[in-house]
Amino acid sequence: MIHSFIAAAAAILLFALTLQTAPLPEWKSLFNGKNLKGWIPVNTEPDTWKVKNGLLMCSGHPIGVMRSEKQYENFVLHIEWMHKEPGGNSGVFVWSGARPGKNRLPDGVEVQMLELDWPKLHMKDGVMPPLAYVHGELFGVGGVKTVPDNPRGERSKSIENRCLPRNQWNTYEVVAVDGVIKLSINGKFVNGIARSTQKKGYLCLESEGAEIHFRNIRIMELPAGVTVPEQIAPEL
């Protein structure tokens, strides 16, 4: 019995030492404030993306994306963004294949970034689109399916309006784990989706017709989950 106790104690000690030596998740910058290192333009032009005064600036033209060098599965993404035009449109794609579709945008889960005047500028027959559009909608695109926390059709709308208008910085924290995404807007979690059919892929920044600036883009990678090949975007 003494030998069994010693063996068990040794196993526990070895496990504790393993935990101590295992690397802990840490923040890594995705934008160095100097150049586009770490990002690959997919279907935009050389002047679509530029770096000035420590900011990543997107002209919005043409419509398209710029993708991360590597794929990500489970992570926390911090990104700050500011629209410069009324009704500006942009976003970040999560778990994306980064290949352009018919509308020049890729598949994945889009985390919407719209300027507050967008509904006013897109009225149809005197009817203004829902304000939910501009406050961090989440939705699958390009064949990727999700289950919305707060359904607006197949999309998920924020339960509280927290986005700020143009020329003011907004902060998104995107927590993506095992097909689930939770979105915090300016310091509060207000939206989410679950059961994404694609759970690993590239991050893409979107150019969609209006100037937008980004800064302080960083990521904390989390341990991998159980993901089958069908849930992983093809490597480029």
Which residue bears the tokens 């150019």? 207
Which residue bears the tokens 């406050």? 135
3-state secondary structure (DSSP) of residue 225? coil
The per-type count for the chain, helices as H runs and strands as E runs, is 2, 17
Find out whether 158 and 149 touch, Cβ atoms under 8 Å: no
CATH number, span 26-231: 2.60.120.560
pLDDT tens per residue across all 236 residues of the chain: 555 545 555 556 555 555 556 678 999 999 999 999 999 999 999 999 999 999 999 999 999 999 999 999 999 999 999 999 999 999 999 999 999 998 999 999 999 999 999 999 999 999 999 888 899 999 999 999 999 999 999 999 999 999 999 999 999 999 999 999 999 999 999 999 999 999 999 999 999 999 999 999 999 999 999 999 999 999 99
> Residue 215 has what DSSP assignment?
E
Domain boundaries defined on the chain: 26-231
Cα separation, 202 vs 234, whole angstroms:
9
Sign of CA dihedral 174, 175, 181, 187: negative
What is the structure's pLDDT at 24?
A: 86
Find out whether 51 and 35 touch, Cβ atoms under 8 Å: yes
What is the structure's pLDDT at 5?
A: 47
| Length of the chain counted residue by residue | 236
Cα separation, 185 vs 167, whole angstroms:
16
